[in-house]
Structure 1
Amino acid sequence: MKTIVTTLALALCAATGVTAQMKSAAPAPGADSVLLSETTDGDYIVRRYLVRSSGDADFTMHYRISLATLDTSLGGNPKQLGDLNAFLSGLVGDTLRKVQSVTITGYSSPDGPVQLNEKLAAQRAQDFKAYADSKYGLSKRYTVRVNSVAEDWKMCRTLVAQSQIPDRTAVLQIIDGTQTPEQKELALEKLPAAWNYMKANILPPLRRVEVMIVYADGNIVEQRTLKPKPAPAPAPAPAPETYEVVDETITGVIVEMPESKKEMREEHRTAAREAKQDATMTRREAREAARIAKRDAREAKKIERRSARAAEKMAKKEAKAAKKAAKAMQKNEKDLEKM
């Protein structure tokens, strides 16, 4: 019943989309992830995670009464087909995501002969499988299962109970009764206001095909982050003045000092050369650190610009889809009024 309630909300609101769709960016590791490896690739640290579980995705397409051929313009079908196309296109380019199976289930509403409804449900499932195979090559890429369900009146009881249908109590008593499906339909037809409400709001969303895409457990995802840059090494401390112990008595320490001014000047020049070399190395390291920092800043700006463009593109796409959904809803309402 949960699926039927969700489907009815889709038909009335024309805004229901994919239950769970993957994005292009790798998900951040969580409690359900295990680190498999950590390597480096240039300026990046590459970590690979085993994701123990992930959400599935489902799509719903509606069919007209007594028909088993998909009308791509009916109700919310344009939005759902667009979402399905985007989702499958993303799967083709994502080698890390694995699909375990695809299940296509055809449904029929309970009005009409039971045998005809069973045939319609099966034909709708096969019709959409053929459509998906011709457009996406679905059966060639994934394991596709086909099911069908001819719903009885009890299957729509929850929808009736949650609706504003006239004579709701009487309708529920008929649905809960022990009559045959055909007898229940005749009894409901004797309540004109309630029957017209059901034909316009309850029964059309039940004529549908649902596509469920189940991911395989144990998906492997990859996360890339910039390596932190080490801070420049501090300048070495000046060497301490050296001396040589030549004799030691109880009264103190005797050291041997340089014997001439020439030796003292030579020691000073040597110390100056070493200090200059140290300063040159420090400046070189500082320039290298600055160069690396500028390169990282440029890289970060590129990533930021790409993210902004992707977000803008996604926003435009969603706005366009919402506009199409609104138009589809208006068309669906007009179709329902004609029925």
Structure 2
Amino acid sequence: MPLRITSAPVSGIKKRKTPASSRPRASPFASHARSKPITSGGSGGALKPKLDDPDLDSGPLTDVGLSHHIPETAPVDNVLEALKYVRDSMFEELPARAGMNSTRIAQVLNFRRSLPPLVSVAHVHTLLDAPTKVEREIMELAIAGRIRRLIVPGRGNDAAGLGDCLVLTEDWEKLVRESVLDPVLQEKFLTVLGRIGNTCAIPGAAFSASEYTALVRSGFIVSSSSLAKGTSSVPSLPNLPTTAPAAAASRAGSGSAGQSGDAETGSQSQAQFHTATLFLSLPNTGPYLKLLGAGRDHLISLLKKSKSGEVPLYLLRDRWDGAVESERSFSVAKRARGEFAGILPGKTKKWKDLYGMSFRWVLEEAIGAGLVEIFETGSVGPGVRSL
């Protein structure tokens, strides 16, 4: 009879059936989708604003009184120093990495060089902050012939206007001698300037019709009507008498009749200048005033990005400069790693439209014009608000 090794007739393990009453019940929340928990310090809170966003602020700044930051930090003590400082600090130096090609750089430099050495009276008052003393010093310098006060008609004569300017006499004479005017006319024009004193109006009998035409085309004389209508870079008088060379030659060979016609035309042209209101000016005064107005408008638009209309001075300066790369250590390290460290200056409005206008210069202009004011916050340095 055979001997069995195992006690079970079939080798293997059989699973025992679990009764239905002992099965686990399904969770009532099993049909709901699972989501990750939201933490307060994580990046999942999309509705929470960024605290470092310069276009968002928590509210008005603390005001502990008007600030004297500008006059206290300005390196000037008198009107003459203020005129030279304002003239030399209007633009910033070209950065090493400007982001502009050679043609654009040449345009920027040539435009800067073509602007007249004008300084608004409001700007001088901002730097010195002594109204009575400044006005008395301006009058003394004007009487002594060291400066000239230039009133541009049609540009406003109040604090916010762009028409009350000062010019050093030596700078004015330099522009005249470097112009394309005939040397004889240059000397005659400078003599007339010395004779009329500090007035801006030019007498109609001071020059001939041809001399008036040359002075107008060079930008040293304008009419009030042309400025009121907003002329371009080189102002001109309406209906200027012009004489073509060919027409002049034909009339010269036509005898006494032609000579009498020329004399009649010349007398009519001279009469037009006698009756016109003529004022002194400087070449490219129009582009200068237009650029100044554009700089003021851009500063106000940056200030209005804040909900309260107030912003710390350092933050307003950063907005003016734009998100440009700098030479700080962290910015240099980012560029070395190939990371984004800011845009090049040539891509910002400061350089594209304002030719590198200095932030402090335009801020001083806006304060003098009564468009903004600067105050002390007591915590984040000086603050700026629009008026």
- TM-score normalised according to structure 1 size: 0.21
Between structures 1 and 2, the one with greater helix share:
1
Between structures 1 and 2, the one with greater strand share:
1
- TM-score normalised according to structure 2 size: 0.19
